[in-house]
A and B are shown apart, each in its own frame.
Chain A
Amino acid sequence: AQTVTQSQPEMSVQEAETVTLSCTYDTSENNYYLFWYKQPPSRQMILVIRQEAYKQQNATENRFSVNFQKAAKSFSLKISDSQLGDTAMYFCAFVYSGGGADGLTFGKGTHLIIQP
């Protein structure tokens, strides 16, 4: 079974700073996807970024980028030029990609607070 660990329950940074959220996972699989989801106070789960394990290039989406280290089973999220609207819970998630779609396995989340 896969496990996902987010070791930072809460982080706080000033607006416009760069922040990195950590995520590690444990799996014996070789083909999988990793995701970061954002959950603002509205509780909507919003996909931030996605990484395919077979791709060496790190995914980027505007101010959001990841550092994917497959050998170390690490998948951190970097948010550049942080904004007040980035305040939310952030969840790292894993899914095996062997065929079809399985359910996501989530970490416990990191509460990110952007201070004005």
Chain B
Amino acid sequence: DAGVIQSPRHEVTEMGQEVTLRCKPISGHDYLFWYRQTMMRGLELLIYFNNNVPIDDSGMPEDRFSAKMPNASFSTLKIQPSEPRDSAVYFCASSLGTASGGYTFGSGTRLTVV
């Protein structure tokens, strides 16, 4: 398996633009997580899905952020409009079943909003 695949690896955009981050989980994994990593706040859970259904989005910072999982092999995290404070590394991770299954992370997307 190729692991969790995220794209793009780097994204530079101007303030006010829409940004879409993409994630392909490991085939067969039924949980998908989106995290944000910053120097100030560390790694924060934004939202997670189980069988394509959002379970907990309490970590989504504000209405500018939205996430979807239209099918078991694809998820997006969208920021509209983007702001400089959204600059961070965004990770996607997937897991099979219970927490004992372990969590596999993608290589992350470094977002820079100028």
B48 partner residues in chain A, CB cutoff 8 A: 102-103
Interface contact A33-B100, CB-CB below 8 Å:
yes
B67 at the interface (CB under 8 A from A): no
- Closest residue of chain B to A47 (Cβ to Cβ) is B102
| Chain A residues bordering chain B, tally (CB within 8 A) | 26
Q: Chain B residues with Cβ under 8 A from A102's Cβ? A: 48, 56, 99
| Chain B interface residue bracket vs A | 20 to 34
Q: Is A104 touching B103 in the complex (CB atoms < 8 A)?
A: yes
Q: Are A45 and B42 in contact (CB under 8 A)?
A: no
Residues of B within 8 A of A (CB): 31, 33, 35, 42-43, 45, 48, 50, 56, 59, 89, 91, 93, 95, 97-105, 107-108, 110
What number of A-B contacts does a CB cutoff of 8 Å give? 62
Please report the C-alpha to C-alpha distance between residue A21 and residue B24 in the assembled complex, in whole angstroms: 33
Distance between Cα atoms of A50 and B101 in the complex (Å): 10
CB-defined A-B contacts under 8 Å, sample of 18: A32-B99, A42-B107, A43-B110, A44-B105, A45-B105, A47-B104, A52-B100, A97-B98, A97-B99, A100-B31, A101-B101, A101-B103, A102-B56, A103-B48, A103-B59, A106-B42, A107-B42, A109-B42
| Residue of B with least CB distance to A103 | B45
- Say yes or no for A96: interface residue by CB 8 A criterion: yes
Q: Which residues of A contact B (CB under 8 A)?
A: 32-33, 35, 37, 42-45, 47, 50, 52, 91, 95-97, 99-109
